[in-house]
Amino acid sequence: RDAGLLLACGPTGSGKTTTLYSCIREIDVKQRNAITIEDPVEYYLEGCTQIPIDNRLENTFGSILRSVLRQDPDVIFVGEIRDTETATVAMQAAMTGHLVYSTVHSKDSIGAIFRLLDLGVEAFLVANALDIILAQRLVRTLCTCRKAVSPTPAQNMKMGKLLGGVPKIYMPTGCKRCLGTGFHGRRALFELLDFNDQMRDVLLGTPTIQKIHEIANQGLFTTLQQFGFQQVTKGITSFDEIARVAGSH
């Protein structure tokens, strides 16, 4: 995409910044001017201009973003949308031909839309600027010592209504490799919402989470929990781990 706002959402430590850094690394920075605004700069990005927030100078994401827009950027990464000013300027930039990446604290992709509205951003700005929202969580991955078991009736009911029946799942056991924990490494869960024209129309009317969900479910939308349960059936992680990170209701 050449323009628009791409949001990553999730709690602190869920890997949002790492994911967006990976997106920026795919950009040809020799052809496109990429600038980041961060608090603090977390990784070095070759070919990008990276600007840290300096609290001693009372800088904010919003004030620096206004200055950055005078430097003819093509791609802008704003570390976090925390307030109305930052959100408004970021969306105005996205609507005027800039590709803008940013993060926001929200439990899921649809919740991120209403988080922006709660910040006081006008609905028409959100509707016209938003392009993609990615919700993300990190889960522990099962060690190779895992064992296959039949799901309990309660587990089958929770997963079955989302996946259409689950014959087996995997559980942690513990060995020397994983120091007896049953887990080794971590992996991300993703929930991708492609913001479309139907959603924009709802947002400009009387938006509700249910209405957005109904439109999303008409496409290939997969919730964090659905994605997580898919990983359970593949033996990548456990049911309890998904319940801990993405809920089990």
CATH number of the domain encompassing residue 114: 3.40.50.300
pLDDT in tens, the chain (249 residues): 789 999 999 999 999 999 999 999 999 999 999 999 999 998 999 999 999 998 788 888 999 999 999 999 999 999 999 999 999 999 999 999 999 999 999 999 999 999 999 999 999 999 999 999 999 999 999 999 999 999 998 898 888 777 777 888 999 999 999 999 999 999 999 999 999 999 999 999 999 999 999 999 998 899 999 999 999 999 999 999 999 999 754
Q: Rounding to the nearest 10 degrees, give the CA dihedral for residues 216, 248, 145, 18.
A: 50
220-102-53 Cα angle (round to 5): 165
Contacts of 86 (CB under 8 A, 6+ apart): 60, 61, 62, 65, 78, 80
- The number of C-alpha atoms within 13 Å of 111 and in the hemisphere containing its C-beta is 15
Report the pLDDT value the prediction gives residue 153, as an integer from 0 to 100: 87
Quote the domain boundaries for residue 131. 4-246
Quote the number of domains for the chain.
Answer: 1
- Nearest Cα residue to 65 out of 74, 57, 76: 76
The percentage of the chain sitting over the pLDDT mark of 90, rounded to a whole number, equals 86
Q: Rounded to whole angstroms, how far apart are CA atoms 21 and 16?
A: 9
Tokens 């439990």, located at residue: 107
- φ, ψ for residue 213, nearest 5 deg: -60, -45
Q: Please give the structure tokens belonging to residue 91.
A: 């969306």
Q: Rounded to whole angstroms, how far apart are CA atoms 7 and 115?
A: 12
pLDDT in tens, 153-187: 889 888 877 777 788 899 999 999 999 999 999 99
Q: Rounded to whole angstroms, how far apart are CA atoms 99 and 94?
A: 6
- Residue-averaged pLDDT of the chain: 94
